[in-house]
């Protein structure tokens, strides 16, 4: 019980700091702390495999991706120092909208029958016990037998994401000029906003 | 041994709703697309917390499997969104989401 409230306070504080941090790098650091606390919360919910995944995938992989993108963005210019970060009159409407959503959430939560758990179902096993509920073997068995189709759909989603990222980030030239651009030998990195009139005529070199 | 047994499900759902609302407020008020993406990640994780709490309360593995699916989709979303942010910055030298309005007609 004490652990839950400590985790809850830590989660809310790090979430607020993530949203209100002035620089995005600080925001990433607070978000890493938030995700580690959330991983601990997952373990207390006897979802130990997802706790590990939360640390490995979220706090490591995704947030390192954020950091790398920030490093790439801030090499040439200072893009985040342009103008105020917040719209002047957005705080009032945003707070109002958040209050409305909070009211709807409270309305829904207090009326859902799912919250009325039929009986107290304690998990007797300690975290790490094999074949208990939420253990890695239990989760893996459920993932590979009962819920095999979502697992395969996950693989498909990842493949689509890989193809999308490669198409977006590798070659920014449109499809028609890519053939000519490849003929010019080593590709020169140039801003993609610039027109390429020499390539329109089909003139080689 | 399991500290969760004494915590009611409503506490977890309330915590999840609070984190989700902080994420909504972040998306609404910030103009930096990276911080907006991080607020969206907060919202993903709030939904994950709610699903894991329900899975624990009902002793049903489906919530955990769906949380796994959500983590995967969030990874894919982060990769694609960051690629879009990079391309947009390369194209316009600007990452202010209010300045990028070429799709608004």
Interface of B with A in 30-69 (CB under 8 A): 30-32, 34-35, 37-39, 41-42, 45, 48-49, 52-59, 61-62, 64-69
**Model confidence band, residue A75 (pLDDT cutoffs 50, 70, 90):** low
What backbone phi and psi angles, to 5 degrees, belong to B30? -90, 155
Calpha distance B79→B83 (Å, rounded): 6
How many residues are there in chain B? 105
Q: Number of CB pairs < 8 Å for A and B?
A: 252
Domains of chain B: 3-92 (1.10.287.3510)
Q: What is the predicted pLDDT for the residue at A192? A: 53
Q: Residue B100's pLDDT is what?
A: 72
pLDDT reading at A80 higher than 60: no
Cβ distance B82 to B37 under 8 Å? yes
What's the rounded Cα separation, in Å, for the pair A45 and A127?
Answer: 10
Residue A190 has pLDDT above 80, yes or no: no
Would you state the pLDDT for residue B103? 72
Q: Which of B36, B72, B95 to mutate to test the interface with A (most CBs of A within 10 A)?
A: B72
Crossing angle between the packed helical segments B9-29 and A91-111, to the nearest 10 degrees: 160
CATH architecture of the domain covering A1-76+128-145: Up-down Bundle (1.20)
* Res. A71: pLDDT tops 80: yes
Q: In the structure encoding, which two tokens stand for residue B81, read together?
A: 């969104």
What is the pLDDT, as a whole number, of residue A159?
A: 94
Tell me which residue in B37, B76, B84 faces A158 most closely, judged by beta carbons: B76
Rounded to whole angstroms, the Cα distance separating B33 from B18 reads: 22
């Amino acid at each position: 019980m004490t652990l839950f409230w400590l985790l809850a306070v830590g989660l809310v504080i790090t979430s607020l700091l993530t949203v209100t941090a002035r620089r995005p790098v600080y925001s990433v650091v607070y978000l890493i702390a938030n995700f580690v606390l959330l991983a601990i919360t997952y373990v207390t919910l006897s979802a130990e495999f997802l706790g590990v995944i939360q640390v490995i995938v979220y706090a490591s992989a995704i947030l390192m991706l954020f950091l790398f993108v920030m490093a790439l963005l801030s090499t040439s210019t200072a893009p985040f120092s342009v103008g105020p970060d917040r719209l002047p009159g957005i705080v009032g409407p945003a707070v109002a909208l958040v209050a409305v959503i909070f009211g709807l959430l409270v309305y829904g939560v207090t009326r859902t029958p799912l919250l009325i758990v039929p009986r107290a179902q304690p998990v007797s096993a300690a975290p790490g016990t094999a074949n208990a509920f939420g253990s890695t073997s239990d989760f893996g068995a459920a993932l590979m037998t009962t819920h095999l189709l979502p697992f395969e759909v996950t693989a498909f989603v990842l493949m689509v994401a890989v193809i999308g990222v490669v198409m977006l980030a590798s070659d920014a030239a449109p499809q028609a000029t890519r053939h000519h651009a490849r003929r010019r030998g080593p590709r020169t990195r140039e801003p993609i906003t610039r027109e390429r009139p020499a390539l329109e005529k089909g003139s080689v070199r | 041994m399991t500290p969760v047994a004494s915590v009611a499900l409503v506490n977890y759902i309330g915590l999840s709703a609070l984190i989700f609302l902080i994420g909504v407020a972040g998306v609404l008020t910030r103009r930096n697309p990276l911080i907006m993406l991080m607020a969206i990640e907060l919202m993903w994780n709030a939904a994950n917390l709610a699903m894991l709490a329900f899975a624990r309360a009902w002793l049903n593995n489906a919530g955990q499997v769906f949380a796994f699916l959500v983590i995967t989709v969030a990874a894919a979303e982060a990769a694609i969104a960051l690629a879009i942010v990079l391309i947009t910055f390369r194209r316009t030298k600007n990452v202010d989401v209010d300045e990028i309005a070429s799709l608004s007609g």
